[in-house]
Amino acid sequence: MALPYFYVTDLSSSTLTLEEDTSKHIIQVLRMQLNEQLLLTDGKGKKATAVIIDDNRKRCTVKLTDVIHEPEKATGVTIGISLVKNASRFEWFLEKATEIGVTEIIPLLCDRTEKEKFRHDRLQSILVSAMLQSQQCWLPVLHEPINFGEVVKQTTTANKFIAHCLPNEKQQLASTLAHHSPLTTQAAIILIGPEGDFTEKEIATALQLGFQPVALGNTRLRTETAGMVAATLLCQLTSE
């Protein structure tokens, strides 16, 4: 049975007083007691074993007994994905992308994006739960929504892809990755469009700026499914 695993924003001091919610969870819900062990991460690669030295249910205090640091992946995966009308589908994508191990998520505002209010705090907490659930110690970076145009202009990532549904010439992302092993040592970004796809103008702009057009299989995928499929292929085929 793995030790209970919690998120804290800072792991730099050797003794920590945890926030009220976390303290309540540990002392009241899990009924943990003095000298019991738990795990903590700062979501920036640090994973610490700690022991409870004050079981106050509002200000539980722990002492770190062991800290390991997991280096950041060289093959970071960034998913730029349009917001979708149905907020729960976007939240679902965030959970799955985190479980799968993406490093960065950029919500895109495209010509055809039907904007939804963006609740960063709520979405951030979904990322944290998914990171802990999947026993990772790197929290994906979740950006505020950015306009498509700015993202394609500013991206300097080594491997740049854009997934679209127009019948134009494009490769399957899966075969591109399976047959180009150099990719496995470099970071990658892929852009996923809204319901109704990117506009021809958006696609043309991305191609001019060096994005490679790719397909994600032969079926028509929902935005959040496409994001998940892209995250799977990039995380699994660039992390060998």
What residues line the site for a second copy (CB under 8 A)? 92, 96, 99-101, 133-136, 172-175, 177-178, 216-222, 225, 228-229, 232-233, 235-237, 239-240
Q: Which is nearer to a second copy, 48 or 183 (CB)?
A: 183
Residue placing its CB nearer to a second copy in the complex, 52 or 233: 233
Nearer to a second copy, 191 or 231 (CB): 231
| Shortest distance, position 238 Cβ to a second copy, whole Å | 10
In angstroms, give the least distance from the CB of 90 to a second copy: 14
Q: How far is the CB of 134 from a second copy (least distance, A)?
A: 4
Report DSSP letters for 169-234, one per residue. S-EEHHHHHHT-GGGGGS-EEEEE--TT---HHHHHHHHHTTPEEEE-SSS---HHHHHHHHHHHH
**Cβ proximity to a second copy, 78 vs 176, nearer residue:** 176
Measured over the CA atoms of residue 138, residue 106, residue 88 and residue 23, the dihedral's sign is positive
* Closest CB to a second copy among residues 56, 133: 133
Q: Give least dist CB 239 to a second copy, A.
A: 7
Got the DSSP string for 118-137?
--HHHHHHHHHHHHHHTT-S
Smallest distance, a second copy to C-beta of residue 137, A:
11
Closest CA to 174 of 238, 225, 222, 220: 238
Q: What is the DSSP letter of 27?
A: I
| Neighbouring residues of 167: CB distance < 8 A, sequence distance ≥ 6 | none
Question: ∠ CA(4), CA(10), CA(15), 5° rounding?
Answer: 75
**Least distance to a second copy from the beta carbon of 195, Å?**
11
- Helix H or strand E encompassing 237: helix 223-237
Nearer to a second copy, 189 or 233 (CB): 233
SS3 21: helix
